[in-house]
Amino acid sequence: MSKKEFGDLNKRELVDLVYTMMNTEDENNSELPPVEQVAAERTKLDNKAKFRRILKSTVSALLVAAAIAVLISMLFLPVIQVSGDSMMPTLNNGDIILLVKTKRFCTGELCCVSWQNKLLLKRVIGLPGDNIDIDEKGNVYLNGEPLDEPYVTNKALGECDIDLPYTVPEGKLFVMGDQRETSVDSRSTAVGCVDYDQMVGRYLFRIWSAD
């Protein structure tokens, strides 16, 4: 390899040349490798370095995206899995649903309630100040008017030990499950009306169906 050829190499190529010379398999071979070989080795090293940079950048982006998704889920859009059949046929056991955190609820909306370290899926029936009445056949009356409940397939009075008619206290919500015969909800003094602070969120949509 001539002096001119050495002069044509940049610093990185010179370093690569020294590295190649130090790692040559033939220790008795004192001949310097040609510029083309050095350039080829340099290209390999550059490609490896570029791959590592891309891999590092991709992993970092994925970690940031995952952290943002977890943060959004915790603060604004909780994701939960349905446990039990109190909301059938609207929701089935094992369904995965998305909620939206809010303090505004309307009659008939699906909601998630935190109760004794459990998450309960129920439906908002009465707002603060509303008058609730339920007859022996399970028909619900809201402020003296029959409540239209197309989501209920089998009406029943169910587990009800509150005094009817019942007025929902301020700052509370009256909730019931769609399976009226088996659901334990605000009709029972064991649960009662729930505070707004107990509301985890309002049902937004089903992400995955267990059926």
The question of whether 188 is a catalytic residue gets the answer no
The question of whether 186 is a catalytic residue gets the answer no
Q: Which of 122, 172, 183, 186 is catalytic?
A: 122
Q: Which of 73, 86, 101, 114 is catalytic?
A: 86
* Closest C-alpha to 13, from 42, 40, 52, 37: 42
CA 194 – CA 102 distance, rounded (Å): 15
| Neighbour-count burial for 177-210, b at 16+ CB within 10 Å, e otherwise | bbbbeebbbbbeeebbbbeeebbebbbeeeeeee
Q: Supply the residues annotated as catalytic.
A: 86, 122
